Structure 1
Amino acid sequence: MTTPPSPAVPAPASTSSVRIGALAPLSRPGWVEAGRHLLAGLELAAREVNDAGGIGGRPLELLVRDTAADPQRAEAAVDELAGLGAAALAGEYHSVVARSVAARADALGLPFLCSSAVLDALTEQPTPWVARICPAQSHGWKVYADFLLGAGHSRIALAVQPNVYWAAGTAILRDHLAARGGTVTELDLNALSPAAVCDELVRHGATALLLLVGAPESAAPLVASVRGDQRLAKLLIGAPAGQPEFAEWAAPLGDGGSAVPFLRYLPERPTPLGARVEASLRGKLGAAPSFVAFEGYDTVTVLAEVLRSAGPDRARIAEAWPHVAVEGTRGPVRFSREPGGRVWQWAWPPVQVADRDPAAPDRFRVLHTG
């Protein structure tokens, strides 16, 4: 099933509009709240582009498709959007899904600007067709590891639901911490009960437990067990992937969802553009926008600028990535590619480690920047 073009961005006749395919997880088992924030940013930027005259006088049209965290469904959407004449693709939150989107876009010669999926190996081979707004996982997770070390945590345990994304994060943490005298113990949540995890944490002398799990329902019983174990009263619980940013994560954990440090990609102080966009997104979402909403806004802002200079020709769009210079909500966006790099990358968005304040869970505290 596909969703129609968003009503927030008027859908002109296909013969007159410039089309962008917008991909986001908007239904289960996808992270729906993240998808909703991503889409809000994409739509707001598209509306502003059209209010300013569109692309060379032609309206910008978003063709929104729900990936539902399903790689095969996402690939089918890419094929459909290519057939509908999309000049480029935007969006996606889940790394495993974005990897499938990137592979299919590369095969079709369809530019894809990835908004939120951080997996380093977004493509198997270098490609001119794919660029990325969000940082690579290795960059952000090393910042997180430095935060742990700076806070006095060198014996780290990981509660893992194994998949490609969490395996990549585990390797990053293990390598970065080991080079600085730290140790990492991996605990498989498919094999251990919450009580057994607590016993293992005590046995290994861990001072921090990182939750490498995809859904709050998986984390809640473990967090409750750890918080209720007096042996672990001083243990730090963290979630580097950024889930505690969302109310969808925090609600099932209750009080246990506070003081859980996570990564997000925001500056210490908003830029003037960021402050204006934040106000608009807050009105649209009815809540404070997450970093994912800003990623969505910046994605369409970049694509609109590329389309103005290169037109809707797909090959010319791909050729334009290294020439992008756009003021985004979180600073100037430019793409580069290191030797051996596979995609064009904004290096780097600002990175924060933050948590929810136990005294006021709706308020975030910035603990570290990198």
Structure 2
Amino acid sequence: MTTEPSNPGRPHHMNASPSSAVQIGALVPLTRPGWVEAGRHLLAGLELAVRDVNDGGGIGGRPLELLVRDTAADPGKAAAAVAELAGLGVVALAGEYHSVVARAAAAEADALGLPFLCSSAVLDGLTEKPTDWVARLPPAQSHGWRIYADFLLGAGHRRIAVVTEPSVYWASGTGILRDHLAPQGGSVTELDARVLDPAAVCDALVDSGATALLLLAGFPEPAVSIVKAVRGDRRLADVLIGAPAGQPEFAGWAASLGDDGAGVPFLRYLPERLGPLGTRVEAALRERLAAAPSFVAFEGYDTVTVLADIVRAQGPDRTRIAASWPHVSVEGTRGPIRFSRPPGSSVWQWVWAPTQVVDRDPAHPDRFRVRHAT
């Protein structure tokens, strides 16, 4: 793996060095305000897949190499990294966790003619216009969040409150929930985390009559303080707390909240049972991370697996790589991966990664319970 140069401001050509390796650029949030824990899992999956490809002989006898750039959840930094990596000669781009950052990266990759396989970001509008340069592994937000809304309806929740911060991603999620719940007699009340402190969120939640509160806000704050306030308010003892974006997946959630963090359903993109490849990769990721791997780590592994398969077949030609999305047929850690264009999609999409609604078991907060699956 190659990390960022010590002087990232020097001209691109000075960073390049002759190499027989096939190079893939990787965008990963590794510093704050990025979600560092998610970035660490994503990078672990990417790196493990590169190791496995090279242990199997590489790409036509050439080693595969990652050129990693830290996005720090900054769209501008991500776009600059894409331009730099394109100048360094990478054959394709992988990664990114944050949707708004991935959107900036996708726009730059499209403009430069650099194939980009997005590992983890789900925002529907990943590009403003249809492009053949970008493909995506995780389900579009509209797909996953509708599944989450069905879970809420099945559990008897029709009056939903969301505590939210300004973000294209959170606004999109709120709209998806509202549109899906309304025909079933459901409603969504928005609570502004910028205006309401945790105690005021509790008061507004009581006034709303909602039976579920969804956290569409940053972690650790304000999400941790809001969860603690709701859990400590006797008036809200029967209110479900949910986090569709997946915050409770990571160990940092449990470390910050302990028992209060259990019983908070979230979306996870894993099958109920892993096959032989997934089981082997899970064990290797667990060793690499010294912790249970999240679904994000599997997304990273599958990204490199797909790109390596394409480059083996097409060679390191960017145009031919991008033209290959509709012909991909790869066994990933979570099932067979193929790409198509579902209605309304501007990018090539795996339709769909397996999707679950899970939570941490209140009796054993270090274990997960599957509450709903597709």
TM-score range, shorter chain: over 0.9
Q: Deviations over 1:217-255 (max 9, x none)?
A: 211221111111111110000000011000122322232
Query: For residues 3 and 31 of structure 2, what CA distance do their matches in structure 1 show?
Result: 11
Equivalent position of 2:352 in the other structure:
348
Matches within 5 A, 1:139-178: 139-178=143-182
Query: For residues 42 and 264 of structure 2, what CA distance do their matches in structure 1 show?
Result: 23
Alignment partner of 1:124 out of 123, 128, 132: 128
Matches within 5 A, 1:1-370: 3-4=3-4, 14-370=18-374
User: How many equivalent residue pairs?
Assistant: 363
Structure 2 residue identity aligned to 1:358 = P
Query: For residues 91 and 130 of structure 1, what CA distance do their matches in structure 2 show?
Result: 12
Q: Residues 339 and 143 (structure 1 numbering): CA distance in 2 closer, same or farther, change over 3 Å?
A: closer
Query: For residues 297 and 30 of structure 2, what CA distance do their matches in structure 1 show?
Result: 14
Query: For residues 245 and 50 of structure 2, what CA distance do their matches in structure 1 show?
Result: 27
Query: For residues 125 and 256 of structure 1, what CA distance do their matches in structure 2 show?
Result: 43
**TM-score normalised to structure 1 length:** 0.96
> Do 2:4 and 2:70's aligned partners in 1 also have CA atoms closer than 8 Å?
no
Equivalent position of 1:8 in the other structure:
none
- Partner SS, residue 179 of structure 1: helix
The worse-fitting range, judged by mean Cα deviation, of 263-272 and 213-222 is 213-222
Structure 1 unmatched runs, 5+:
6-11
Query: For residues 203 and 168 of structure 1, what CA distance do their matches in structure 2 show?
Result: 25
Equivalent position of 2:11 in the other structure:
none
RMSD (CA atoms): 1.3
Query: For residues 259 and 161 of structure 1, what CA distance do their matches in structure 2 show?
Result: 23
Structure 2 residue identity aligned to 1:231 = R
Query: For residues 360 and 4 of structure 1, what CA distance do their matches in structure 2 show?
Result: 40
Equivalent position of 1:9 in the other structure:
none
Q: Residues 24 and 199 (structure 1 numbering): CA distance in 2 closer, same or farther, change over 3 Å?
A: same
Cα shift at 1:273: 0.5
- Partner SS, residue 194 of structure 2: coil
Structure 2 residue identity aligned to 1:145 = A
Structure 1 residue identity aligned to 2:307 = L
Structure 1 residue identity aligned to 2:189 = T
Structure 2 residue identity aligned to 1:229 = D
> Do 2:258 and 2:365's aligned partners in 1 also have CA atoms closer than 8 Å?
no
> Do 1:217 and 1:252's aligned partners in 2 also have CA atoms closer than 8 Å?
no
Q: Deviations over 1:309-336 (max 9, x none)?
A: 1111000000000000000000000000
> Do 1:259 and 1:356's aligned partners in 2 also have CA atoms closer than 8 Å?
yes
- Partner SS, residue 217 of structure 1: coil
Structure 1 residue identity aligned to 2:107 = A
> Do 1:216 and 1:253's aligned partners in 2 also have CA atoms closer than 8 Å?
no
The worse-fitting range, judged by mean Cα deviation, of 209-218 and 98-107 is 209-218
Query: For residues 163 and 250 of structure 2, what CA distance do their matches in structure 1 show?
Result: 20
Q: Deviations over 1:23-54 (max 9, x none)?
A: 10011110001000000000000111111111
Cα shift at 1:15: 3.0
Cα shift at 1:3: 2.6
Query: For residues 217 and 358 of structure 1, what CA distance do their matches in structure 2 show?
Result: 22
The worse-fitting range, judged by mean Cα deviation, of 177-186 and 166-175 is 177-186
Cα shift at 1:13: 6.9
Structure 2 residue identity aligned to 1:28 = R
Query: For residues 62 and 79 of structure 1, what CA distance do their matches in structure 2 show?
Result: 16
Query: For residues 288 and 27 of structure 1, what CA distance do their matches in structure 2 show?
Result: 21
Query: For residues 160 and 56 of structure 1, what CA distance do their matches in structure 2 show?
Result: 49
Structure 2 residue identity aligned to 1:3 = T
Query: For residues 339 and 13 of structure 1, what CA distance do their matches in structure 2 show?
Result: 43
Cα shift at 1:339: 4.0
Structure 2 residue identity aligned to 1:276 = R
Percent identity, aligned pairs only, is 75
Structure 1 residue identity aligned to 2:91 = A
Cα shift at 1:14: 3.8
> Do 1:216 and 1:250's aligned partners in 2 also have CA atoms closer than 8 Å?
no
